[in-house]
Amino acid sequence: MFSKVRLCFAAGLTKLPGCVNLRPARRPTRALLCNHQTRTFSSESAGVRVLYDGLCPICVTEIRFLQFLQRKQPGNVNFIDISLPGYDGGKHKDVSYEMAMEEMHVIDENDKVHRGVPAFAVMYGAVGLGWLGRFMMWSPVRPFMDKSYAIFARNRLKWTGRGDECTTGHCEKKNN
């Protein structure tokens, strides 16, 4: 009986809305980059582009983990630190600094912008954690993920020691 439940559960996780593509990103044909070079603002399309806040310790921890996961396949995901002074949203499907600070944004290999929980699903699929992305998007789990992420996104600046001023213009961590 347990094996039937496990099969049904696994089968349910393979069904996704058509708007989310969790296939691993294609490998780019450009030269491989060093870790520090993945933070550049190239408008060149890597498979998947993840826009993240490099001043957020929670965000940076997750990005480092994802970079570790893709270490044998560099270039599948281009991690773009929006907190660097030269960030230009015009080079990234017009996702402004303010928009990227509001919630997670990922640009897939087809140049489609994903926001919030679907962005995480695309990102996880690109680094080999497609099962996790499918789980997050699974209809019984998705409402919980949406609510949990909304709480995190609304409070992450406060939780990481930065205030509301970070949503407009670039900010630094406050020293209390």
Q: What is the average pLDDT value for the chain, to the nearest integer?
A: 76
Assess if residue 150 is contained within a domain: yes
Q: Report residue 35's pLDDT band, with 50, 70 and 90 as the boundaries.
A: very low
Q: For the sheet with 48-52, list strands across it.
A: 77-81, 48-52, 105-107, 113-115
Q: What is the pLDDT of residue 52?
A: 96
pLDDT in tens, 91-137: 999 999 999 999 999 999 999 999 999 999 999 999 999 999 999 99
Q: Write the CB contacts of 146 (distance below 8 Å, at least 6 apart in sequence).
A: 116, 117
Q: What is the mean pLDDT of residues 4-28?
A: 43
Look up tokens 């069904």; give the residue.
Answer: 15
> Model pTM?
0.69
pLDDT in tens, 65-94: 999 998 877 778 999 999 998 999 999 999
Residue 75 Rama label (left phi>0; alpha psi -120 to 50; beta)? left
- Distance between CA atoms of 84 and 90, rounded to whole angstroms? 15
Assess if residue 11 is contained within a domain: no
Both tokens of 103, joined, read 């919630």
Assess if residue 26 is contained within a domain: no
Both tokens of 152, joined, read 């995190």
Assess if residue 6 is contained within a domain: no
- What domain count does the chain have? 1
- Distance between CA atoms of 156 and 151, rounded to whole angstroms? 8
Quote the domain boundaries for residue 49: 33-167
Assess if residue 78 is contained within a domain: yes
Assess if residue 1 is contained within a domain: no
Assess if residue 66 is contained within a domain: yes
Assess if residue 9 is contained within a domain: no
